[in-house]
Amino acid sequence: MIVKSAEFVTSAVKAAQYPEARHPEAAFAGRSNVGKSSLINTLVNRKRLVKTSSTPGRTQLINFFSVNDALSLVDLPGYGYAKVPASVRRKWGPMIETYLKGRETLKAVVLILDIRRTPGLEEQNFIDWLELYHRTAILVLTKADKLSKTDRKKRRQAIGAALGVDESTLILFSAKTRLGKSEVWSALERAVLG
Ligand code: GTP
Ligand code: MG
């Protein structure tokens, strides 16, 4: 994918605030602070189109971005151990669920996992849930730059086994080195524009 333009469209909490569904869409989900926003920035060759932070829970709304006026990328708030007030966190589940269930133009969900962490029930449930709603999942293992090549392979194997998926479907990625950027784009193009 040659990115000619990438722009912020709008933020939303509820369906009435979503932008008009003009283009096929891909959403980015994962635990808080895993690197969702950084991954989107890497894909569109921008440093700060999407706000990133070392503080978990930076992204608190559903943020819509438009690429080449042909495709829409959606940054979701993270789940898990966000250091945000419980009152805010309680609203995220339904907010994300409503979006994932109901958005008619949503073609793929990129689930981003930290390569150093073995996924647990939360991730497994999320994948099962996506299947139930017939959402195509693209699995990305990010922060690969933090490991040696040997350890990356070992971690990919362990994560594949933990999730019960073929490890070859897990894309190794790094926002720091841009490893895997073209693989993520290929998977997105297949799922979203294919
Ligand atoms: P929330 O919006 O809070 O859920 O976080 P997020 O998943 O959007 O993560 P974000 O992209 O803000 O990144 C969180 C932290 O991880 C930042 O300090 C990033 O610089 C760092 N980070 C993200 N991706 C990578 C990566 O591939 N490698 C390394 N080394 N650091 C990364
Ligand atoms: Mg974020």
Pocket test for ligand 1, best of 52, 62, 76, 174 (most atoms within 8 A of CB): 52
In this structure, is residue 111 part of a structural domain?
yes
Q: Residue 172 is part of which domain span?
A: 6-193
Of 107, 124, 109, the residue nearest 159 (C-alpha): 124
| Average confidence (pLDDT) over 162-173 | 96
- ipTM, two decimals: 0.99
Q: Which one has a higher pLDDT value, 140 or 32?
A: 140
pLDDT in tens, 67-115: 999 999 999 988 765 556 677 667 777 888 899 999 999 999 999 999 9
pLDDT at 64: 96
As a whole number of angstroms, the distance between CA 41 and CA 32 comes to 16
In this structure, is residue 51 part of a structural domain?
yes
Total domains, the chain:
1
Q: What single DSSP character describes residue 23?
A: S
pTM value is 0.94
The yes-or-no verdict on residue 118 having pLDDT over 60 is yes
In this structure, is residue 68 part of a structural domain?
yes
Tokens of 4: 């000619």
In this structure, is residue 1 part of a structural domain?
no
Q: What is the mean pLDDT of the chain?
A: 91
pLDDT in tens, 30-72: 988 899 999 999 999 998 898 887 776 667 789 999 999 999 9
The letter for the amino acid at 96 is I
In this structure, is residue 81 part of a structural domain?
yes
| pLDDT grade for 193, boundaries at 50, 70 and 90 | confident
What would the DSSP string read from start to end of 87-129?
A: HHHHHHHHHHHHHHHH-TTEEEEEEEEETTS---HHHHHHHHH
Provide the CATH number for the domain around residue 130. Answer: 3.40.50.300
pLDDT at 12: 93
In this structure, is residue 73 part of a structural domain?
yes
Q: Whose CA is nearest to atom 5 of ligand 1?
A: 33
The yes-or-no verdict on residue 147 having pLDDT over 70 is yes
Q: Which residue has the tokens 């895997």?
A: 180
DSSP bridge pairs for 72: 25, 66
| pLDDT grade for 1, boundaries at 50, 70 and 90 | confident
Report residues whose beta carbon is within 6 angstroms of any ligand 1 atom.
30, 32-38, 52-54, 56-59, 77-78, 142-143, 145-146, 174-176
- Cα of 17 vs centre of ligand 1, distance in Å, is 26
